[in-house]
Chain A
């Protein structure tokens, strides 16, 4: 299990990295944390001709507040950096709750936010979380820079909206509104495994504890994060009842299209998605009420 040969170039700046990518296109891959890329190279399932190492670019791993609240997370930010950042965790409890489900500490020390999102594994937690939070991705090439909504970024299994000369350089996370509760839950065979099904839910309450905003996004049950927020709309305008939440779960189950795996049948995945929906919405609701 040794990787095939490749040419290694350590990019010295973002511009350098982008110009290399513009030059080599699909023959080149960015090397960020490498925690998904290198295993596939060791299995020789991936054989990039050129690796552009981003790890020595200053500033790509910075997290900073953005104007009008929220935060901007640099693509090279390691999971563990966010995990250790109490302020960040306080602002984005949904991310804080999802992070421990991502592999193991050794992987989280190395793996990066941008690498994870660009890899777009269907079972991965962060893409679903990013969609649920309404994140925007700052994408750059030598020619242009643009913003892409997370909900438009993931176009298929391991496929994103990124063009062959582009890089995801920063993730913008809007600050959650007051009285927002969130919950991330997943079922995996063992902690740290990819999810059989996972769900990221957020709910914002009005003055009378009525639901005024709700997001519900699954991971692991389709090629891309499955945004089921539309079926949760029925919760809007009322304090969510158990029955209403059950109805949302049933509608979400009908909406998703899991494929099954060696670990779970599609029916079990769908069943789990329903159970998790109930539990996560209920938890998000309670957290919103109690200001957690």
Chain B
């Protein structure tokens, strides 16, 4: 076999097109006769619709059509429930899913009211001004605590409250454990996550070809197969008639997943109606309202401990802001509930949450997907416990880590994949040790004191987490050797920069003895691969990667079988490398893979019964449950104690995501995750007024970190293979982003000496202004 590429920092196959401006992104799709859509969106969060009149808009030159909800007839219906609630006893779930165009009532700023179709986007936007609209404004539900109070306005008036869901999950018996505890820590925490804000916004192009009876949809979706199936059903077409293509997608991070966003539902319908291709590209302003958010939770949490700092149990009651509709079920709060437990032994757990409807944009998973919220609660509780029990912060974590011999470790409660939460494998203590060593933990107190003598305020943080990754149900891959000897792979997932064109190629290249650059990967085109779920939950490499591996193995076997027939020798005597099969020890006796592919599809002659033609195979892989990755982040910051300006001096991530396919790409995933975590912890905050208006809907005011805010990240890895898939892979996409909030809180507290001054940081995001307010009355 050729040199293995698996595990090597192989450079990416997809780069050339991206670096030369030749990659096809959604807004690059240009079709003859294409029209452009713009949406009139609600400017208020909650209102009854009294009147919409588009007649003036229709008279504007260049405007082709304008539709309101009633124009859609039977096509108007609430979207499907994408993720039903998990099988948990006593669960309450009120399903209220989003609609294509608001009818009777609007429930969040940005909810679409009218779709306008015009010859250009410029004219379509002009026409929005021509629409006469009367809205009767209603009080808005913005605050989740207020929203649950009696007398609150109701987002959905057919319900008697704003409860979207209520879930309690328990493990052991917290009350009994607490009764025996030496010490109880009890705090309220507020954690807000922001918006994914990929640099490319969303977009849809729909082209109905009347002659061919064929619908083609280009969509920035992370889950093209579901979009095809769903839209085919809605449009009354067979799935075969609908092709969904997710081209190069400029970042996703969750919110580009299948939502059946109103625009996705409307454009194909309009294209059929007008028999013209239609394009809609979300602009940045729309993105702030029309693409899903993540936002906040409020946790009332307590931790029961022994006096030597061992966790006896945790009780947590939290509220989760679900937004105006709940098509994504409970994925985000369930992730919070489960991930809170972290890498620690928590014998007793009692967790209850209420998902609340608000008059704000929908909440769906965004990188981390609620895991951040839970990790913040756990890590902060441990920090306060460490302080009150006079134990070092790293030490209290070490004492509670799940021991290496305890895996698989059962946490009993139900995870987002509907399976009981079980950690497949792990070895946590070496990860913590590596991180402490890399950050210079032991020397830090001396360094800190020396800096303080020079008037510099340094602080350190250490935070641990686990990440449930690589969940099912399944993905598939078709691996095919072409007659030119190149290998093609097709899979059903979408890709948004994760390097799938390279890592899948590496997997196949190793099995088939070809160069990585000779493997061409297609993702996100439903005509190339029919089945699949999508790219989410750090699962692409795990689930689709294993499918590629399985299919490649079958193709390898086929190639060797064909060659053994040809050479009339045993398969064991053959070697597959450099794109050809040769006989061991007789390198001049060989056949090229491309020729074998030709032989696998003969023009004449009989083939053996049961033989599948072609040097190809389609295989599926579905793990029994998610694989659990883990890691530790550590950071040293310097704070200006007067301005609260923050500088990160050192940032360390040590991470275990099982077998690594491509360390270069993995590092990139971690770097990017950390950058988003830093944004979440200290820069990015959605600021709403009490009427549900977003006050900072621009990239000038919603602060994405730049190259000056994000430090160099030092990486370390350990490898504990997952037993759940043959390659031993765990997911890595979200790990960088998860524990950054508690890390900031801890390091800032340390730098500003807040423990001594009696100030606790119980919320994320923080900011200089907020730190000033929190500390202004504290002793110096």
Report A's interface with B, CB cutoff 8 A. 1-5, 43-44, 187, 189-194, 196, 262-265, 267-268, 271-272, 275-276
Contacts and interface: CB of A to CB of B under 8 A. Distances in A.
B444 interface: no
Contact of B687 (A192, A196, A262, A265): A262
Contact of A268 (B125, B700, B773): B773
Interface string B682-710: 01010100000001101011010110110
A20 B698 CA distance: 33
A190 B773 contact: no
A267 B703 contact: no
A189 B283 CA distance: 24
B643 interface: yes
Contacts of B772: 265, 267-268, 271
Nearest to B286: A1
A262 B705 contact: no
Given A190-B703, A190-B709, A263-B767, A1 B283 contact: yes
Contacts of A4: 126
B769 interface: yes
Nearest to B705: A190
A190 B695 contact: no
B773 A189 contact: no
Nearest to B36: A2
A4 to B, nearest CB: 7
Interface residues of B, number: 29
Nearest to B285: A1
B604 interface: no
B78 interface: no
A189 B683 contact: yes
Given A2-B121, A271-B772, A263 B701 contact: yes
Contacts of B683: 189-190
Contact of B708 (A1, A191, A265, A271): A191
Nearest to A269: B769
A262 B285 contact: no
A34 to B, nearest CB: 16
Contacts of A196: 768-769
B15 interface: no
Contacts of A263: 701, 703, 767, 769
Contacts of A189: 683, 703, 767-768
A196 B768 CA distance: 11
Contact of A2 (B125, B703, B708): B125
B53 interface: no
Given A196-B769, A265-B769, A187 B645 contact: yes
Contacts of A276: 643
Contacts of B705: 190
A242 B698 CA distance: 41
A264 B766 CA distance: 11
Contact of B643 (A5, A191, A265, A275): A275
What 4 pairs between A and B have smallest CB-CB spacing?
Answer: A264-B769, A268-B769, A1-B283, A2-B122
A111 to B, nearest CB: 14
B114 to A, nearest CB: 17
Contacts of A268: 768-769, 772-773
B703 A193 contact: yes
A291 B705 CA distance: 37
Given A191-B706, A262-B687, 15 more contacts: A1-B125, A5-B126, A44-B125, A187-B645, A187-B768, A189-B767, A189-B768, A190-B703, A190-B709, A191-B708, A193-B703, A262-B695, A265-B769, A271-B772, A276-B643
B56 to A, nearest CB: 16
Contact of B773 (A5, A191, A193, A265): A265
